[in-house]
Amino acid sequence: MPDYMFLLESRLLPEQRAALLRVQELSAALGYNVYLTGGTVRDLITGASLRDLDFTVEGNPSKIARELEKGGAKVLVEDEKLRHVEILFAGDCEGSIAAARDDHYVRPGTRPEIRWSTIMEDLRRRDFSLNAIAISLNPASRGLLLDPTNGLSDIERAEVRALIIHSFTNQPVRLLRVLRFAARMGFKLEQRTQEWFDLAIERDLQHTITPEDAGAELRGLAREENPGAILKLWEEHDLLETVHAVLAKKHPDYDAINRLNKVRDDLFMAGLRPRLAAPMMLAILGRLKDREQGSLLHKLGFRAAEVEHILGFEEEAHASAKELAGKKLAAPIDAFRFLEKMPLETLAHLLAFSSNSGAVSKIRAYLNKWRPLRQGIPTIANELTAIGMPAGPKFDTIVNQVFAMQLTGRGKTPEEREKILRKLSGIKEQPKPKETKGKDKKGAKAAAKAGAAHAAKPVAHAEKPAASTAKAHKAAATKKPEKKKKK
Ligand code: ATP
Ligand code: MG
């Protein structure tokens, strides 16, 4: 059996690891059992990127949420009835914490009665076996996999399997979900699940999906890496009209979706993992009029702040592009600082759709040249130390000045940089000692020895080190072996 804890720890981003440890700690302090569940476990097993952390606790998550808020986490949505908290952990890492619960249906298709439960009952009430696996985060069983419905073997078979015959009757939104997971993972529907799916469509259950449930699926869709494939599948099964009639009639803007996806790939290559929810939603709704977009989002239960963010997104991005291309940000270092703070989704949107060529070329320079140069800042700092500059505010200013110069194409070689660093720091290279001819060889040797001994000592506070010291540091910084002097 694979070591799931090892697998997990090796796949988490540092901020995700910190969030996991904190939730574990808080749960232990409250005496709650805590598990990693749902999409997180599925994505871990299948090797997909871990976008968010879904926790389930045998207890009330709101107490954990309050503590997390003190540490900088933001609660995005809190459903007190369901005891479900959507949260942005400190470090901008998305996730959720929910109470373990059982959904009890008096009759198939009725509203379920909620009962707080153990993790095992909670896993069994879930939609598909691949979403019903948990990993224990409790001290005595940390890393133990709980898979009561055999989800692992369905993942191996590349199948999405509903857990009970009434699955779609109980929650018709699962008709959208089953296709979303199948398209996303390239899985097919397990044979009986396919039969239940067909039967549900025959009985027209898709028309009983509530707008809020459809809205949640649309929200999930906009966070997908390949929403186009899912939308096509929904269209093929006439399910898009159950999400929204106007969207079904006018169709999603597949071109815009593809353009944004292409940009996402480019950003991945540059080492960035953007969340594209707002621009992707706009791309999906691209063929609808502004008014239609607004009414769709409201109808599907999007929160006011979400609607405002999505509908105001394009205008804000446009304003950012104007500022970026403007005179105030003409110096590359100013544009760099501005782009560093620009949300990745804005940056992606501009790359995909902006006609402001000045802004777009700066974004490209930022991704392809400036960010890689920033990785070289420690080298500049080493080089500055090597010529004898002590740490302090002036040190940092000089490093930043050299970085700013590099953005304009200067200081590419270590030699060029040394000149610049010396000029900015005022640390001059000591003149070479005069060559002594034949007569005084003994004296020269002694002087060289003394110099070498001095070079070996640390010179943390020497503003003007001896020439031999500077050379020794330079050699260390450039890591080239010192050439032997010709005799
Ligand atoms: P994603 O990667 O899109 O976030 P996810 O599986 O985490 O995928 P969520 O919508 O975040 O999907 O739901 C979290 C978990 O809650 C699911 O994995 C599933 O176990 C459970 N779940 C969500 N919706 C339903 C539903 N309608 N019926 C049963 N279980 C559900
Ligand atoms: Mg999730």
Query: Long-range contacts for 106-113 (Cβ within 8 Å, ≥24 apart)?
Result: 108/166, 108/169, 108/170, 109/166, 109/169, 109/170, 112/170
**pLDDT tens by residue, 9-26:** 889 989 999 999 999 999
The length of the chain is 487
Closest CA to ligand 1's atom 10: 220
Closest CA to ligand 1's atom 11: 39
Q: Around Cβ 303, how many Cβ atoms within 10 Å? A: 13
CA of 178 to the centre of ligand 2 (A): 14
Q: Residue 103 CA: which ligand is closest?
A: 1
Residues with CB under 6 A from ligand 1: 38-39, 51-52, 54, 126-127, 131-132, 171, 173-174, 220
Q: Residue 224 CA: which ligand is closest?
A: 1
Q: Which amino acid is at 307?
A: V
Q: Residue 133 CA: which ligand is closest?
A: 1
Question: What is the structure's pLDDT at 434?
Answer: 67
Model confidence at 211: pLDDT above 50: yes
Ligand 1: residue of 79, 127, 135 to mutate (most ligand atoms within 8 A of CB) is: 127
Question: What is the structure's pLDDT at 198?
Answer: 98
CA of 296 to the centre of ligand 1 (A): 23
Residue entry with tokens 């959208």:
176
Model confidence at 230: pLDDT above 80: yes
pLDDT band at 458 (very low <50, low <70, confident <90, very high): very low
Question: What is the structure's pLDDT at 329?
Answer: 97
Which atom of ligand 1 sits closest to the CA of residue 173? Answer: 27
Average pLDDT of the chain is 89
Residue entry with tokens 């709980």:
146
Question: What is the structure's pLDDT at 219?
Answer: 95
Question: What is the structure's pLDDT at 23?
Answer: 97
**pLDDT tens by residue, 315-371:** 999 999 999 999 999 999 999 999 999 999 999 999 999 999 999 999 999 999 999
pLDDT band at 7 (very low <50, low <70, confident <90, very high): confident
CA of 267 to the centre of ligand 2 (A): 23
Give 104's strand partners.
113
Model confidence at 1: pLDDT above 80: no
Closest CA to ligand 1's atom 14: 38
Beta strand 93-99 with 52-57: parallel, antiparallel or unpaired?
Answer: parallel
**pLDDT tens by residue, 385-414:** 999 999 999 999 999 999 999 999 999 899
Question: What is the structure's pLDDT at 86?
Answer: 95
Question: What is the structure's pLDDT at 256?
Answer: 98
Backbone dihedral angles phi then psi of residue 428, each to the nearest 5 degrees: -85, 155
Least confident of 33-47, 72-86, 447-461: 447-461
Ligand 1: residue of 97, 105, 126, 224 to mutate (most ligand atoms within 8 A of CB) is: 126
